[in-house]
Amino acid sequence: MKIETYLFGAVEVIPEKVINFPNGLVGFEQNKRFMLVHDEGRAQPVSYTLQSLDDPAIAFQIVDPTTLGFNYELALSDAENALLQTPAAEDIAVMQVLFKQEEGGRAAIAPNLRAPLVINTRLRVGLQKVMESMQPNITLSNLSSPV
C-alpha cells in the first residue's frame, strides 16, 4: 500500500514498520497508525517524520531528546505499562515532538518537553505521555569550563 505524503510524495507503507498509538496523540486522537519516514540518503537522521497513515495530511517532526542534550527518567503507570505491553528497557525509545513557536514575530522550532512519545520498538506500539509537572534533572554537557 502507498500513501501520498506532503513532504516525501508517495511512500510505500511497510506493515511491519507501522507504529500503533492506541490512544492517538494529543489533539489527534483519531490518528492511531503512524510510520517513521526520513530522507533515505542519510545513514543516521537527526529527526524523523512521524507520518499518520490514517490521515496523510498529518505528520510530526520528532527527534531523540539526547540529540538536544536532554534525558528523560520516566515512570510509567500500570495502565501505560500495559498499553506498551510491558516492554524491556532496551525496547523503549523516547522521542520529542517538535513544534513551531512564534515569539515577537519570529518563528522558532522547539521540542515539546512535557509530552514525549514513548515507543515499544520491538512491538511497535506507543503512547504520548503527558506530564502535568516536570522535575527536570538537567545535565549540561557542553560547558567550556567547570563551574
Number of domains forming the structure of the chain: 1
Reduced 3-state DSSP string for 97-147 = EEEEEEECCEEEEEECCCCCEEEECCCCEEEECCCCCCCCCCCCCCCCCCC
Does some domain include residue 91?
yes
Q: What pLDDT score does 145 carry?
A: 47
Q: 90 lies in which domain range?
A: 2-128
**Is the predicted pLDDT of residue 144 greater than 80, yes or no?**
no
Q: What percent of the chain has pLDDT over 90?
A: 46
Q: What pLDDT score does 112 carry?
A: 87
Q: What pLDDT score does 147 carry?
A: 46
Give the three-class secondary structure for 66.
helix
**Is the predicted pLDDT of residue 68 greater than 50, yes or no?**
yes
**Is the predicted pLDDT of residue 135 greater than 70, yes or no?**
no
**Is the predicted pLDDT of residue 143 greater than 60, yes or no?**
no
Does some domain include residue 31?
yes
**Is the predicted pLDDT of residue 93 greater than 50, yes or no?**
yes
The secondary element (H helix, E strand) that includes residue 78 is helix 78-83
Does some domain include residue 136?
no
Span of 19-23, 61-65, 111-115, 142-146 with lowest mean pLDDT: 142-146
Q: Is 101 within 8 Å of 109 (Cβ atoms)?
A: yes
Q: What is the mean pLDDT of residues 95-122?
A: 89
Does some domain include residue 23?
yes
The model's pTM: 0.83
CATH code, 112: 2.30.290.10
Q: What pLDDT score does 129 carry?
A: 95
